[in-house]
Structure 1
Amino acid sequence: MSEIQQLQPKLLWNWFDKICAIPHPSYHEEKLAQFILDWAKGKGFFVQRDSVGNILIRKPATKGMENRKSVILQAHLDMVPQANEGIKHDFLTDPTLPYIDSDWVKANGTTLGADNGIGMASALAILESCDLSHPDLEVLLTMTEEQGMEGAIGLQPNWLQGSIMINTDTEEDGEIYIGCAGGENADINIPLVFKQNDFANHSQLVLKGLSGGHSGCDIHTGRVNAIKMLARFLAYFKQNNPTFDFAIASIEGGTVRNAIPREAFATLCFNGEFSLLESAVQNFAEILRNELSLSEPNLALFLQSIDKPTQVFDSKTNHKIIDLINLLPNGVIRNSDVVDGVVETSLSIGVLKIEENKLRGTILIRSLIESGREYVENLLLSLASLSDAKVSFSGAYPGWEPQCESEILKIAQNIYSNILGYSPKIKVIHAGLECGLLKKIYPNLDVISIGPTIRNAHSPDEKVYIPAVKNYWNLLIKLLENIPQK
């Protein structure tokens, strides 16, 4: 038990505490899934898993609600595993440790998993409750949303019975979402040619202390991508010191595809004076501090000792890598003409690492429109052709097209206005929700997405706003009480 179990609504926070206690990063949700299955069976609910591991639980309507339309509450089982440097945390075995900080719940140096643990907790709390009114209810918990929406992609038709779906995966109090961006993975692979390390000196270049965050929701904020910034320094140093003889022995950054990388590293070997490289690093760090004093106040760029590598990239590979990563488009490509204040198309390189004599960059493309995604594909193909690299695309998923005449949307607007004292905002999000995929399989579903305020999802600074959780809960239970008749 933790202190969050004393918060209200108690049923929801108790469930969130249980969820935090069971490790459930992407591809490792089985322990949590089994716990929920065992609990549901013990309660006598109808419960099934499909071939990809999604969980479906059904609860009959409460007395007097039998003639209302049936509702699906939907959340995903997995969380993004990110930890601050120096935090010893094994996401496969260690529980998340939530704590209260003023009006926020945070975790101890790791991602909290409020994305989408709060939504999951709310659905399970409603299943457990004995005094809340609701129609016939289904709870759908999907697998591996954070790493490619694999559960939603693999969902079978003719399994769900509900006609209204409430997705619980958005992150802003006072907002109702009715659309989202589609997405696609892109892998750019650069062949590596090595040679023996004959350089006299070596050091590791370290960039750390960045804010990171969600590569969709935070892409417009100006937060620095560590991989891109490391390449910027290497290009800056190469161009301003053309006679300095150096080579890269290794380069890496980021850990997950859908988070803005907070750290990146490059091992450099060289024959020139260490003081020249050190001075260039210090000067560039000062440039960045002046540029980014507000958006990245904790940025740190420095050199540190490392064991001597046995091999380095050859000269052609060295220059090609620096130029390609420096040129790689990243961030907002275009804002929407249709939805004011929303990004239309973006991309973010989330991971860079060496695999089997190749340098692999993992990129997530997001767009509200198909032509925007195709434009970014062509940008990457052109860049790859200029640098002897290869790019491949996979895991494309559709966006969720807004339906402004939705019946459940109008009901939610009225209820939320009464709770908040003002009209909620109706929005489209530049992030991947499972709604688009689920609508593709179940096109007649009437869908909205709601959730409490969550800040810095996909980073160790993730936190959820306690008063917003109460608003979200009140909206959810009032919605269930006011579902229209069949």
Structure 2
Amino acid sequence: MTALTQLYPQPLWQWFEQICAIPHPSKHEQALSQHIQQWAKAQGLAVVEDKVGNLIIRKPATPGMENCKTVVLQAHIDMVPQKNADKVHNFETDPIEAYVDGDWVKARGTTLGSDNGIGMSSALAVLGSSDIKHGPLEVLLTIDEEAGMTGAFGLEAGYLDADILINTDSEQEGEIYMGCAGGVDAQISVPMSWQAPEQSNASFSMTLSGLKGGHSGVNIHLGRGNANKLLARFLFKYSDELAIELVSFTGGSLRNAIPREANVTFMLPSENVAALKQAIETFQALVREELAIADPGMLLTLAEIAAPTKVMGEDAQNTLIDLLHASPNGVIRMSDEVEGVTETSLNIGVISTEDESVEILCLIRSLIDSGREEVAGMLTALANLSGASIDLSGAYPGWKPDTSSPVMAIVRDTYNDIYKKDPTIMVIHAGLECGLFKEPYPHMDMVSIGPTIRYPHSPDEMVNITTVGQYWELLLAVLARIPAKNA
């Protein structure tokens, strides 16, 4: 056995090791899906793959619990593919290198995939058990949650028979989630024009790195640096003074991850190179002081490159820099109803330079539809003022809290009985799939639980081993307490 599979509970960690070994980034879950289907059929379990690729696996009740309400355990198959710049790793072909570090499981240089691999492992471990008490059971494994919630959008009525859904995608032990934010993608296209360099004769690539990044929902309130915004800030302050002529701006890799790195290539007159290097030192010191607690590691590095044949037109460059610098980012408003929870936020997630435009991909989140619409309106107004175009797509609803939820009460009371303390009932500023499930299954009672996961969506992702055991014990105790159908 490896160090991972010796951890408690072994059935869960054995599944997690298998999951780490089979590449499964968003939109590339087929190999893992096939592995799970083959295993389930070998166990004699009923398996259905729906039209979009979600898996539904059914297991009969254990003896004496046949009349209990049907429960569906739900997780998503895909993981966020993020790696450190110096890590050689292909998420479509290479396994995740998970390892134990004290009371944490981490990955070497990449995201771990504990979001939502631990939840998926728990559901599969229950399916494979012979001694866990439960009523009629369904497991729903959705695809593409991290890159657009394709599986949740595509789930149709009629596939699930369950009365209760337990989502396993929460990331803090001791918290029970009964609501989540909705969201919408915003893609801004800034038209580009190109020209020959004017007075420039020195060419550079400048990279901003060293930031923590993280989940654009659950980490957004921590005040971490956004590489795209910080690099735009540098350009806004120094591009005119140094006569910088931009060639490209790229940054971030996922709309739902706070960008840790960004890069610009540019030209400038050689007589301004010394001033450029001084500006880099000054700006780096300033940002490190501002983010001394939240995100102190920002680094600007400069490298000479071959001379480009074209640079951005002056008006196009100024428009791009102004729009990026003016755009809101981070927490827009904290919730009045749920103390300490972000209500509305915006993440300037990905920037890429194309032949005809610079594309800016953002994710807006809000607990309320009006908050989401307001930020979408802000970005639309900025695009209008800038002569850019904006496309709003993939809107998904939030999950409205139900304080009278029977399953939430069962989980709360079970937690109290096991650990002799009350859990915290929460609403999460992230896009759990429950809101979308309410469309085809409006009467399904839902709750979300999970172990403690730190820094999801970044290579610093880690899951706490002790809390995985606590989550497992809670899940099994809840399954044993599911009431009869007529209760």
Q: In which range does the TM-score fall when normalised by the shorter chain?
A: over 0.9
Question: Could you say which residue in structure 1 is the equivalent of 2:33?
Answer: 33
TM-superposed CA distance for 1:336, in Å, is 1.1
What residue in structure 1 maps to residue 268 of structure 2? Answer: 270
Structure 1 residue 310, shift from structure 2 partner? 1.5
Match of 1:65 in 2: 65
Query: For 1:70 and 1:201, how far apart are their aligned partners in 2?
Result: 68
Greater alpha carbon shift after TM alignment, 332-341 vs 160-169: 332-341
Matches within 5 A, 1:208-223: 208-223=209-224
Alignment of 1:168-317 (within 5 A): 168-198=168-198, 199-238=200-239, 241=241, 244-271=242-269, 272-317=271-316
Indicate the larger mover: 337-346 or 88-97.
337-346
The one-letter amino acid of 1:261's match is: P
The equivalent of 1:151 in structure 2 is 151
- Name the SS for the 1:203 alignment partner: strand
Q: How many residues align?
A: 483
Tell me if structure 1 keeps the 8 A contact 2:202–2:267: yes
The corresponding residue for 2:383 is 384
Map 1:34-183 onto structure 2 (within 5 A): 34-183=34-183
CA distance in 1, matches of 2:405, 2:189: 44
Shift of 1:73: 0.2
Return the alpha-carbon distance in structure 1 between the equivalents of residues 83 and 317 of structure 2: 31
Identity of aligned residues (%): 52
- Aligned to 2:215, what secondary structure does the other structure show? coil
Q: Distance in 2 between matches of 1:204 and 1:65?
A: 65
What does residue 454 of structure 2 align with? Answer: 455
User: Residues of 2 paired with 1:264 and 1:90: CA distance?
Assistant: 20
Question: The residue matched to 1:188 in structure 2 has which SS?
Answer: strand
Q: Distance in 1 between matches of 2:336 and 2:272?
A: 52
Deviation for aligned residue 1:455:
0.2
Cα deviation 1:435-455 (Å, max 9, x = unaligned): 000011100100000000000
Distance in 1, matches of 2:74 and 2:2, equals 26
Give, in angstroms, the shift of residue 70 of structure 1: 0.5
Task: Point out where structure 2 has 5 or more consecutive residues left out of the alignment.
Answer: none
Provide, for residues 447-480 of structure 1, a one-character-per-residue CA deviation record: whole Å limited to 9, x for no partner. Answer: 0000000000000000000000001000000000
Query: Aligned-pair distance for 1:421?
Result: 2.5
Distance in 2 between residues matched to 1:258 and 1:137, nearest whole Å:
32
User: Deviation of residue 309 (structure 1)?
Assistant: 1.5
- Pairwise mapping of residues 436-447 of structure 1 onto structure 2 (< 5 A)? 436-447=435-446
SS of 2:119 mapped into structure 1? helix
Write the distance in 2 (CA, Å) between the matches of 1:338 and 1:291. Answer: 30
CA contact (8 A) 1:74 1:139 kept: yes
Moved more, 410-419 or 51-60: 410-419
Query: Aligned partners of 1:346, 1:222: CA distance in 2, in Å?
Result: 12
Q: Secondary structure at the match of 1:275?
A: helix
The alpha carbon displacement at 1:205 in A equals: 1.4
Q: Helix, strand or coil: the match of 1:283?
A: helix
Give the SS at the match of 2:16. helix
In the alignment, is the contact (CA less than 8 A) between 2:75 and 2:140 conserved in 1?
A: yes
Question: Which range is displaced more, 401-410 or 451-460?
Answer: 401-410
- Give the distance between the partners of 2:307 and 2:43, measured in 1 at CA: 60
Counterpart amino acid of residue 327 in structure 1: A
Give 1:304-453 correspondences, 5 Å limit.
304-453=303-452
Aligned-partner Cα distance in 2 for 1:41–1:22:
19
Larger mean CA deviation between 305-314 and 108-117 belongs to 305-314
- 1:307: how far off? 2.2
Q: What secondary structure is seen at the aligned counterpart in 1 of 2:165?
A: strand
Q: Distance in 1 between matches of 2:197 and 2:431?
A: 44
More displaced stretch, 198-207 vs 75-84? 198-207
Shift of 1:57: 0.2
Give the stretch that moved more between structures: 337-346 or 86-95.
337-346
Asked whether the 8 Å contact 1:282–1:302 carries over to 2, the reply is no
Instruction: Report deviation, 1:273.
Output: 2.1
Query: Distance in 2 between the 1:307 and 1:455 partners?
Result: 41
| SS of equivalent residue, structure 1 residue 220 | helix
Q: Is the 8 A contact 2:289 2:296 kept in 1?
A: no
Letter in 2 for 1:436: G
CA distance in 2, matches of 1:144, 1:57: 18
**Alignment partner of 1:320: what SS?**
helix
Q: How far does residue 111 in structure 1 lie from its aligned partner after superposition?
A: 0.2
Q: Hey, what's the Cα distance between the residues in 2 that align with 1:205 and 1:411? A: 54
For 1:367-407, what per-residue CA distance to the aligned partner results, in whole angstroms no more than 9, with x for missing partners? Answer: 11111111111101110111110111000000000011111
Report the alpha carbon displacement of residue 246 of structure 1 after superposing the two structures with TM: 2.1
Say if 1:419 and 1:471, in contact at 8 Å, map to a contact too: no
**In structure 1, C-alpha distance between the alignment counterparts of 2:61 and 2:237, rounded to whole Å:** 65
Q: Distance in 2 between matches of 1:182 and 1:232?
A: 29
Secondary structure (helix, strand or coil) at the match of 2:235 reads helix
Query: 464-473 or 415-424, which moves further after superposition?
Result: 415-424
Q: Deviations over 1:191-234 (max 9, x none)?
A: 10011235211111110010000000011100111000000111
Partner SS state of residue 258, structure 2: coil
Structure 1 counterpart of 2:148, one-letter code: G
Superimposed CA distance per residue, residues 86-141 of structure 1 (whole angstroms, 9 cap, x where no aligned partner) = 11010000000110000000001100000000000000000000000000000000
Return the TM-score normalized by structure 1.
0.98
1:55 counterpart letter in structure 2: L
Return the offset for 1:355: 2.7
Runs of 4+ in 1 over 6 A off after TM superposition: none
Q: TM-score, normalised by structure 2?
A: 0.98
